[in-house]
Structure 1
Amino acid sequence: MAGDWRSPIGRRVVLFPFPSGSHITPMLQLAGLLRARGLGVTVLHADFNAPDPARHPELAFVSIRESLPDEVAASPDQAERMMGLNAACEAPFQAALEELVHRGGGPVACALVDGQWYGMLGAARRAGVPALALGAGSAAAFLAMLAAPRPRADGYVPIEEADRLDEVVPGLEPLRVRDLIGLDGSDGETVLRFAASVAGAVRDASSGVVLNTFDAIEGPELAGIRRELSRPVFAVGPLHLAAGPPAEQQHAPDGGCLAWLDARPPRSVLYVSLGSASRVDRAAFEEMAWGLAGSGVPFLWVLRPGSVGGAADADGDLPPFPEELHETVRRRGKVVAWSPQGAVLAHPAVGGFWTHCGWSSVVEAVCEGVPMLVHPCLADQTVSARYVARRWGVGMEVGRVVERTAMARAIRRLMAREHGPQAPRERARLLRTQARQCVAEGGPASLAIDDLVEYIMGL
């Protein structure tokens, strides 16, 4: 255990992040903001993919000591794995929470658990502790999860109906059926079971919802969640601006890429990263490489070991480029295994971002005014991609099939110095201004955190 859970105002919150980097980071950023406002903070965590307490000495960490069956951790079905995690962690979480309730250090005001931990919302209620759900993704994705269990008469279209994939989903515009959340290795019915579990727990056992977003980009979606739930919804984002960059790093970044960017003209470089978990096959990788080469645009490409299926050798080296492209990559590109993404997106040389549309990446790009080329791979990334391209107008869609000639054309269009209020670059600049106004002193995000603390104190 690290840190101290005692609070100058005598109340503390217990946080429980879902065990993946994109969920742990916003939870710990929120922890810092709550602690700065006088609340004590204890972070319960699973041993599976646990956060590193040494990186957060100001917080108290307590393991729930779960026993996770091997078949759950290794399951190729993502929905089944997430449901298995909930089943394995529910009782240990409840026991650990009850122990904290009866231990000294001030009363537990509430538990704040990741929304994917649907089992923990009920466990907290059984322990006599009010619980709030933190959505690590967008408000649009959270609203889609709430809508997923609806019967067909209420407008939900099952994701596996191929002949209806391009229909807009009633009540979730601009999402089409193909944009609804899917999970790796999971069929539509399994995804629906998981979504129904999340939606049911949030409705039945939560005292409110906290989201890493802001009204300027998701006002209608936040209003939709409030209508669905009839309980408080706190938009506290963008958390990385309000709380600072994360201490957690899933991989060691290559800081040399910043020096490489220093030598490039303003807004000339396309930054390419498909995140920390997405994979593409060898054919798609080669089409990406040829598309970048054919675009004529300088590029910084994050290619972590294992990100290209079947391409890395036994030592986990980066995938090899086609021999014909070696000179192009040497002359016009830079390839790294990982990057300090926040600093890269803020660099004046970066003029566009080819992204998988993980929510953290989208928010970081929005906050730096960088237009996006969207290439969703899994989970709620399809939702974010649709919003980037169709609702906010700050990016362009790659398309379902990566093809080198179309990609080269799309890259050139994204990087073009277009002007006018509807150009992606101008739209991105506008959202950047709105995001920074949101986290300014007295801005909506700051007020939302204050409201959240006041609400917690009254539970």
Structure 2
Amino acid sequence: MNQRNNRRLALFPVPFQGYINPKLHLAQILHDQGFSITILHTDLNSPDPSSHPHFTFRSISDGLRQSEASTSDGVRLMTLLNARCAAPFEERLREEVSSLDAPVTCLIADALFGFNRDAAERAGVRRMVLRTTGATSFRVLAGFRSLRGRGYLPIEESRLEDPVPEFPPIRVKDLPRITGEPELLDQILNDMIEGIKDSSGVILNTFEDLEQPALSLLRQEYPIAVFPIGPFHKCGPSSSGSLLAEDRSCISWLDKQAPNLVVYVSFGSIASVNDQQPFLWVIRPGSVSSSELLENLPSCFLEALEERGKIVKWAPQHEVLAHRAVGAFWTHNGWNSTLESISKGVLMICMPCFSDQNVNARFVSDVWRVGVHLNNGLERRKIAEAIRRLLRAARFKEKANSCLMQGGSSFQSLDGLANHILSSESFIFGSNESSA
């Protein structure tokens, strides 16, 4: 442990909620292993240092104008971040590496930042990569250009139900839907793939029992060390990395509800529920056409709703999913939400929107069988089927717990990761190890 205390790690997340949370969880896990932690972050969506007093925070200027930062075109925004952050990031990294107090000896960055590869090499620091998607959806995303070349993309309505043999049981309609200029997307994906291949290893927020087939293929396809050490959020307490204020009034409301009866609804569009079904509904600012929807709801409506429903802008999701009253999660199937729901044994009602969410939803319903995919909207028959599957969700809850215990797959992988960071090959780039 003393050897680890002499090692400072720098973590650099993509500045969006779904990337920041797992990066901060990983930072906490590595801090608990004895490493010192520096969080490098952009001005855009910078995390709150007061929530993590045991980390050091260093800002990277991104040079974004307000109009650029608020764009809904994620591909263009990532392109701008890659262009604007490259020089200030390298300058900051050199400062951290040459620090006399506690120099950084390993960088853990997201591969969507393509510039971190050359910057790390020039600074003489080892580089590892965190991917915040699951292993399955990562493989599909990495094959995006190939799928386009084989005619699966862009998606045609007449082929929605066609299987994609390269990634069973994926169908054409399950492929990632990413809007943006194809040339810019190709550049980001190419930099991501090459950045992972040239890294000293990739860290994944998943576990062997859940994604063993995909992890096995990933190790064959990428000649680097692979460390599935998730679920991150179950590895220990961590202060919230939420960019939005959490409304904790929903917890006291849940305390008044019957066990396994409440449907927790949280995704980026409006949903409708049966007027007799108790529900907790998160309406995030900006998630619907009117960002002030909650404020505009009549007070009489909210008062009448109180007995059977609760609406908040943001919720402490870990606590909500762990609450005895929650029996199902109506979700968009982002990877963080999917993994948290699996870990808590909560059934999912899947309504994916874009990116990796369609892949996650397909595996939730057809492979892991811990939820139902509402392909054609809400139907009574599908909801009844979802309830019958509820007990099946418990099997992965137990596996998610056991994998983190001593001797479990994630426990061993984490120990392998710590030793890998400390190995004598600290300054060898592109290690040829194939597994943890």
Structures share fold, TM-score greater than 0.5: yes
Q: Which residue of 1 aligns with 2:341?
A: 365
Contact kept in structure 2, 1:372 and 1:396, CA below 8 Å: yes
* TM-score, normalised with respect to structure 1: 0.85
Query: Which residue matches 1:292?
Result: 274
Normalised by the length of structure 2, the TM-score is 0.89
Say whether residues 1:303 and 2:283 are aligned partners: yes
For the residue of structure 2 that corresponds to 1:104, the secondary structure is coil
Question: For residue 210 of structure 1, what is the aligned residue in structure 2?
Answer: 203
After superposition, the Cα gap between the structure-2 partners of 1:344 and 1:410, relative to the gap in structure 1 and judged at 3 Å, is same
Deviation of 1:189 after TM superposition, in Å, equals 5.4
> 1:306, 1:312 within 8 Å by CA — same for their partners in 2?
yes
The answer for unaligned runs of 5 or more in structure 1 is 1-5, 419-423
CA distance in 1 between counterparts of 2:405 and 2:296 reads 43
RMSD of aligned Cα (Å)? 2.6
Query: Is the alpha carbon distance of 1:317 and 1:12 closer, same or farther for their aligned partners in structure 2, counting shifts above 3 Å?
Result: same
Q: Verify the 8 A CA contact 1:292 1:407 in the aligned structure 2.
A: no
The 3-state SS of whatever aligns with 2:43 is: coil
CA contact (8 A) 2:263 2:328 kept: yes
Aligned pairs for 1:183-194 (under 5 A) are 183=178, 185-186=179-180, 190-194=184-188
From 172, 193, 202, give the equivalent of 1:199: 193
Instruction: Report what 1:15 is aligned to.
Output: 11
On the 8 A contact 2:349/2:371 being kept in 1, the answer is yes
Match in the other structure for 1:430: 395
Query: How far apart are residue 188 of structure 1 and its match?
Result: 5.1
Query: Could you say which residue in structure 2 is the equivalent of 1:85?
Result: 81
For residues 275-290 of structure 1, the aligned pairs below 5 Å read: 278=268, 280=269, 285=270, 288-289=271-272
After superposition, give the CA deviation of every residue in 1:232-254 in whole Å (9 maximum; x if it has no partner): 11001000000324422222222
Where in structure 2 are the equivalents of 1:330-369 lying within 5 Å? 330-369=306-345
2:214 aligned with 1:238: no
CA distance, structure 1, for counterparts of residue 254 and residue 102 of structure 2: 49
Q: What CA distance in whole angstroms lies between the structure 2 residues aligned with 1:413 and 1:258?
A: 28
Tell me if 1:379 matches 2:355.
yes
CA distance in 1, matches of 2:315, 2:254: 12
Deviation at 1:375, TM superposition (A): 1.0
Separation in 2, partners of 1:363, 1:161:
30
Q: Tell me the CA shift for residue 334 of structure 1.
A: 1.8
Q: Which one-letter code corresponds to 2:185 in the other structure?
A: V
Residue equivalent to 1:175:
170
**Residue 408 of structure 1, CA deviation:** 4.9
Distance 1:43 1:361, change over 3 A: same
Where does residue 421 of structure 1 map in the other structure?
none
In the alignment, which residue of structure 2 is the partner of 1:248? Answer: 241
CA displacement at 1:207 relative to structure 2: 1.6
SS for the counterpart of 1:361 is helix
CA gap of 1:169–1:127, structure 2 versus 1, over 3 A, is farther
1:446 aligns with 2:411: yes
2: distance between equivalents of 1:238 and 1:391? 19
Q: Which amino acid letter does the alignment assign opposite residue 303 of structure 1?
A: I
Q: Give the distance between the partners of 2:390 and 2:171, measured in 1 at CA.
A: 25
**Matching of residues 88-103 of structure 1 within 5 Å:** 88-103=84-99
1:196-243 alpha-carbon deviations (Å, 9 max, x no partner):
33123222x312100000011111111121111111110010000003
1:45: which partner in 2?
A: 41
Amino acid at match of 1:37: Q
1:23-67, Cα deviation, whole Å (9 max, x unpaired): 111111111221222222211111111111111110111112332
Runs of 4+ in 1 over 6 A off after TM superposition: 325-328
- Residue by residue, what CA displacement relative to the aligned partner does 1:162-189 show, whole Å, maximum 9, x if unpaired? 4333323233222223222223x42555
Q: Distance in 1 between matches of 2:173 and 2:183?
A: 15
Matched residues in 2 for 1:238 and 1:432: separation?
11
Distance 1:319 1:7, change over 3 A: farther
The one-letter amino acid of 1:127's match is A
Q: Distance in 1 between matches of 2:221 and 2:101?
A: 36
Contact 2:39 2:56 in 1 (8 A): yes
The 2-side partners of 1:8 and 1:127 are apart by 21
1:393 aligned counterpart, secondary structure = coil
Structure 2 unaligned segments of length 5 or more: list them.
427-436
Give the conservation status (yes or no) of the 8 Å contact 1:160–1:188: no
Separation in 1, partners of 2:182, 2:164: 16
Q: How many residues align?
A: 423
Partner SS for 2:105? strand
Contact 1:25 1:248 in 2 (8 A): yes
**Greater RCO, 1 or 2 (C-alpha within 8 Å, sep 6+):** 2
Q: Secondary structure of 1:41's partner?
A: strand
* Distance in 2 between residues matched to 1:449 and 1:189, nearest whole Å: 37
SS in 2 for 1:230: coil
User: CA–CA distance in 2 between the matches of 1:318 and 1:389?
Assistant: 35
Question: Residues 14 and 44 of structure 1 are in contact (CA less than 8 Å); yes or no, is this contact kept in structure 2?
Answer: yes
Give distance in 2, aligned partners of 1:259 and 1:151. Answer: 48
